[in-house]
Amino acid sequence: MILEYIHSDASREIIDLQTQTQVQNDWEYIQTSSKLEFIKLFIPKFLSGQKIVLFDPNHKQLLDFYNENDINYFANIQSANEKSKLLFFTSGSSGFPVGAFKSRDNLLLEVQSQQEVLKQRAIQRVVVTVPFVHIYGILAGLLLPMELGDVQLIVKEDFLPYELLEEALHENTLVITTPVFIKALAKLPSEASLSSTLFISSTAPLSLDDVAEFEDKYSSEVMQLFGSTETGGIAYKIGRGVKWTPLHGAKIALQDDKLSVTSPFISDYILKESIEKLAQPYVTEDIIEVDNDTFTLIGRSNKLIKIAGKRISATQIENILEQIPEVNKAIVELVYKKELLRSEQILITLEAKNKLNKQVIKEKIAQFYGIITIPFNLKYVDKIDYSSVGKKVIFK
């Protein structure tokens, strides 16, 4: 496969990716923050059948966990080893890492399902703005272009909006991106038409207004993908509708108002404190309404919040903050700020002995969640106490 890599000085390098390498029996972690380095290492390893571990090397908690626990000797690893080729790590809902094993079938069947949705389009170029350490980046950003065949893959470490617009102007381009860029491009004073370019967005849902603003401005289309690391892709929607259509192969149902999925993309095994077999159907925490073969997302059933696709436990962050000696009590809430590119933020309300430097809080959260960006604002109040039902409330 041919990769066109854009360096930060805007110079371009064409790289013919090597496809074979020697395979080791053990799991191998690709530890790099560079997209270019990652692709050069990942493609030959994956194509040769190497078992690969993936997570953001800046995520200190995951790195510590990985360094302290040899995956190759985990109890029951033999079962997972039978088919698994990739192991994605994420922060679990409790803050403890969760690993999702993926077999080649999990990945390739999902990519074929994505390709099925795109089959009417003559895609010639794929521009990727997302990192590759997460499942969305691997599936849509690397394996999909490989499956599409004769396409040019264009990658840059970080794009600015005008740089991405320039790439998207080429005919028959597919852009693999996130809501941040859809919203940023919509704000540019540009009159360009991107009518032959399709944008795929994932990690967080876009509001209908944001999709409409973008599509009207550029005469282009946005396809959103919905899923998680454990489930893989579940559904997609194109344009400004509210209804999600399951990907070919994924079957959805309703269980106690929650989304239940049966699909060949779901991990057979996950790693929590031990390796567990994952049962199907898999019931997510998403509250949905089902309408024939489609569904509408209504909300989430617990105090887990999702920021840029990452599950964050508000209760856990409260507990983390309450470990800081100056903090008596903390309340963490999700706030939605539509005017910002990163619309999902958390508001931290503290009852504290004195005001803290924001960096202290950032570092404390980073010990548990890595340096993933959790945008937050701080508010101080005189008193936080418990209500009669045990819920924390602010006393003004």
Site for another protein, rule CB under 8 A: 8-10, 156-163, 180-181, 184, 187-189, 337, 340-342, 345, 358-359, 362, 373, 375, 377-379
| Min separation Cβ 11 and another protein, Å | 10
Smallest distance from another protein to CB 279, Å = 36
The two tokens of residue 270 are: 């996950």
With beta carbons less than 8 A apart as the criterion, state whether 137 and 112 touch: no
The residue among 251 and 355 lying less far from another protein, judged by its C-beta, is 355
Residue closer to another protein by CB (options 337, 383) is: 337
Distance in Å, CB of 360 to another protein, minimum: 12
Smallest gap from Cβ 359 to another protein, in A, equals 7
- Check if the beta carbon of residue 100 is closer than 8 Å to that of residue 85: no
* Angstrom distance (rounded) from CA 115 to CA 198: 13
Distance separating the N- and C-terminal Cα atoms of the chain: 61
Which residue number, 96 or 380, has a Cβ lying nearer to another protein? 380
Question: In the complex, what is the shortest distance from the CB of residue 378 to another protein, in angstroms, rounded to a whole number?
Answer: 4
CA–CA dist 365, 182 (Å, integer): 28
Choose among 346, 355, 345: nearest CA to 380.
Answer: 355
Instruction: Report, in Å, the least distance between residue 95 CB and another protein.
Output: 21
Closer of 159 and 244 to another protein (Cβ): 159
Task: Name which of 158 and 382 has its Cβ closer to another protein.
Answer: 158
Choose between 135 and 180: whose C-beta lies nearer to another protein: 180
When the beta carbons of 272 and 337 are compared against another protein, the nearer one is: 337
CB of 187 to another protein, least distance (A): 5
d(CA 211, CA 222): 7
Question: What single letter denotes the amino acid at residue 242?
Answer: V
Least distance in angstroms from the C-beta of 12 to another protein: 13
Do strands 12-16 and 28-29 pair parallel, antiparallel, or not at all (unpaired)?
unpaired
* Nearest residue (CB) to another protein, 182 versus 259: 182
Closer Cβ to another protein, 69 or 373, answer by number: 373
User: Encoding tokens for residue 169?
Assistant: 């102007």
Question: Which CA distances in Å does 164 have to 4, 10, 175, 188?
Answer: 14, 12, 9, 11
Residue 335 has a CB neighbour count (10 Å cut-off) of: 12
Closer residue to another protein (CB): 104 or 342: 342
Q: How far apart are CA 219 and CA 216, in angstroms?
A: 5
Q: In whole angstroms, how close is the CB of 42 to another protein at the nearest point?
A: 21
Q: How far is the CB of 180 from another protein (least distance, A)?
A: 5
